[in-house]
Amino acid sequence: MDLERGVLPILNGALEETGATVARFILLSTSGNRVQRVFSSGKEDVEIANIAALDRDFSKALRRRRHRLVIQDLSETKGPASMAQPLQSVAVFPVRLHNDTVAIFWVGADQSDAFDEARVNFLSTLANQAAVLVENARLFQAAEGGRRRLAAILASTTDAILVIDSRARLLLINPAAQRVLEVNESAYGRLLKNVDIPEPLKTAVLRSDEEQQAVEVPLEDGRTFYASIAPILDPQGLMAGKVVVMRDVTHFKELDEMKSDFVATVSHDLRAPLTFIRGYATMLMMVGDLNDKQHDYLDRILEGIDQMSALIGDLLNLRRIEAGVGVRQEACRLGLILVEAVDTMRARATNKGVMLRLDPAEGAPTVIGDCTLIRQAVSNLVDNAIKYTPAGGQVNVGLDVTDSEAIIHISDTGIGIAPEDMVRLFEKFYRIKRRETSDVQGTGLGLALVKSIVERHGGRVWVDSEVDQGSTFYIALQLPDEEEKADDIEVEG
């Protein structure tokens, strides 16, 4: 694979077998027009005049020629070859690879008629050997170049990257990931379950489903990373492993907390004056007759107040859920929750011309939590699915049950979400700016609320989406153990 180590034995072999003075190998550039590298071997103390000119001359002569060139008496030629003392005869061979001349191999002797047929044949065989050598070296270089590029990317990216194989052994952990997770290369080849990494990450990576998923990973030093986990599929579609890419979202988390504090203060203080305005606005009609225009204006004022109240309600809800105040623990029948959530959205879907369907849930399970909040989370997702799906589209709501979880899914055939927006989607006030959604009303709080509710219940929420194809949002909630189910669940707080 190393050209130099392969070529020199060939040159030495040529000298030994033919008793020649010099043997040279001239590697041409890929275009074939330039000399890229010269390897040479020869009798010591013999200086050959004009040798570089000879190399060029032979390269030029053989570049387009398939066949060897043997000159038994150089003194009869013109050009540089005639002055190549002490050489008297030469044999020049093209080294050909896939119909291209990639190099020239030539041998020169200090007597004339040095190359009889047997020697020429032998040298010709060596030229073929050299072609194999060049091919191997090129392939190796291409592969090595690709490997180096990839290694450079993995080494320099600030994203932490981790790869495991199908048996969950650690195959790769790039320098950024080594720093973030405080593990070193000695972890290579070990089973992931035995490597010391944060539990939420380990659990998410080792979960056996083949879906892409994401998880937030809080570190001990206070930073938070957002990990996307994707399966690696082999050409047969079987899972060959998983790749995990982690991005530092600490800054966004801090921002989110600042937003929460701000929101808590402001929304609380807004409630009282709003109630006040609403009160006086409704009283206007009671204290005297209003004309049509005044009625119309008053309706609009009340509408505005309602929107603001709804927003403040959402904000305070969010705050309440984040703080865990008054969240109930009761047995909630998910089948019923889905039916209720979908029913409240039916009118909205019909108005928009979107078909809303609820798959029948078999053996609809029960989870423990705050039924009103879970219903609200599902309604929010159904509401979004309708909002972000153009007329004629379809929204499907369904429920799957695994050994330990109930997974609610809400899929739409709408505008979809680009991968770069997914990281921040569940943040408060985060709205994606797209032309299609410029006239869609929203606060950017819906998904933040969903996330808070689901996390408060120890569940997971995530999304799978493709731009212009549609999105599927999932909520996974823990199923209670048999024991827990048997207990009579009391309403709390």
Helix (H, G, I), strand (E, B) or coil at 243: strand
Sole window of 13-21, 273-281, 334-342, 440-448 interacting with ligand ADP (rule: CB under 6 A):
440-448
CB of 395 to ligand ADP, least distance (A): 8
CB of 449 to ligand ADP, least distance (A): 8
Q: Which tokens go with 52?
A: 């570089």
Alpha-helical runs (H) found in 186-249: 199-206
CA dihedral 482, 486, 488, 492 (to 10 degrees): -10
How remote is the C-alpha of 354 from its chain's centroid? 32
Sole window of 65-73, 172-180, 351-359, 442-450 interacting with ligand ADP (rule: CB under 6 A):
442-450
By CB under 6 A, is residue 337 in contact with ligand ADP? Answer: no
Separation between Cα atoms, residue 154 and residue 160, nearest integer Å: 9
Q: Which tokens go with 448?
A: 């933040």
What is the Cβ-side half-sphere exposure of residue 143, based on CA atoms within 13 angstroms? 7
Site string for ligand ADP, 445-474 (x = CB under 6 A): xxxx----------------------x---
Sole window of 47-55, 215-223, 359-367, 428-436 interacting with ligand ADP (rule: CB under 6 A):
428-436
In this chain, which of 129, 157, 329, 443 binds ligand ADP, going by CB under 6 A? 443
Residues 340-399 that bind ligand ADP (CB under 6 A): 384-385, 387-388
Place of tokens 């050299």: 130
CB of 444 to ligand ADP, least distance (A): 4
Other CB atoms closer than 10 Å to residue 218's CB: what's the count? Answer: 14
CB of 466 to ligand ADP, least distance (A): 11
Sole window of 5-13, 301-309, 360-368, 424-432 interacting with ligand ADP (rule: CB under 6 A):
424-432
Site string for ligand ADP, 471-490 (x = CB under 6 A): x-------------------
Q: Which tokens go with 229?
A: 């986990």
The number of residues that bind ligand ADP (CB under 6 A) is 22
Separation between Cα atoms, residue 373 and residue 27, nearest integer Å: 74
Sole window of 49-57, 278-286, 355-363, 441-449 interacting with ligand ADP (rule: CB under 6 A):
441-449
Q: Residue 352 carries which side chain, given as an amino acid letter?
A: K
Sole window of 128-136, 249-257, 413-421, 479-487 interacting with ligand ADP (rule: CB under 6 A):
413-421
By CB under 6 A, is residue 412 in contact with ligand ADP? Answer: yes
By CB under 6 A, is residue 442 in contact with ligand ADP? Answer: yes
Separation between Cα atoms, residue 370 and residue 457, nearest integer Å: 8
Helix (H, G, I), strand (E, B) or coil at 48: coil
Place of tokens 């879907």: 349
By CB under 6 A, is residue 424 in contact with ligand ADP? Answer: no
By CB under 6 A, is residue 444 in contact with ligand ADP? Answer: yes
Q: What angle do CA 197, 199, 203 make, to 5 degrees?
A: 110
Whether residue 148 contacts residue 170, with contact meaning beta carbons closer than 8 Å, is answered with no
Which stretches of the chain bind ligand ADP, using CB under 6 A? 384-385, 387-388, 412, 414-417, 425, 430-432, 437, 442-448, 471
